[in-house]
Amino acid sequence: MSTTTATPGTIPTSGTERRVAPRRQPAMGTICRLDAEDAGPSALALVWNISATGISVLVSEPRQHGAVVTGYLEQIEGDHMLRITARVIHMKKLETGDYFLGAHFERRMTADELKPFVAE
């Protein structure tokens, strides 16, 4: 079934709805440090939204569809850090030159794991 979805301030998109878990706004200070593909320094990713099954982030370097990314989901002011592994399901280059990535986690996060990283 094809659907059109939109939220205020966004452009509607057409396509098949694939969400398994509700997307949530990240808590203030939530970032993702993605491991470098070449063992260099980690890439800082701004978390756009997060759910128990996946994450959307803004990054400066592209990651191809199907690529496996690893890293840490972190709270920059606090002691919360969680190792993640995810598979890139879509990538879009933005007018700013950055990239918007959507990825599915290798395993579903528990409510306790997700709690420090979402806005209340």
pLDDT tens digit sequence for 27-70: 889 999 999 877 778 899 999 999 999 999 999 999 999 999 99
Q: What is the dihedral of CA 67, 69, 89, 55, to 10 degrees?
A: 180
Q: In the structure encoding, which two tokens stand for residue 77, read together? A: 């002011």
Which class does domain 21-117 fall in? mainly beta
pLDDT tens-digit profile of 68-111?
999 999 998 878 899 999 999 999 999 999 999 999 999 999 99
pLDDT of residue 73: 95
| Beta carbons within 10 angstroms of residue 41's beta carbon | 9
pTM (predicted TM-score): 0.76
**Which one, of 37, 49, 28, lies nearest residue 100 by Cα?**
49
pLDDT band at 20 (very low <50, low <70, confident <90, very high): low
Of the chain, the end-to-end C-alpha distance in Å amounts to: 32
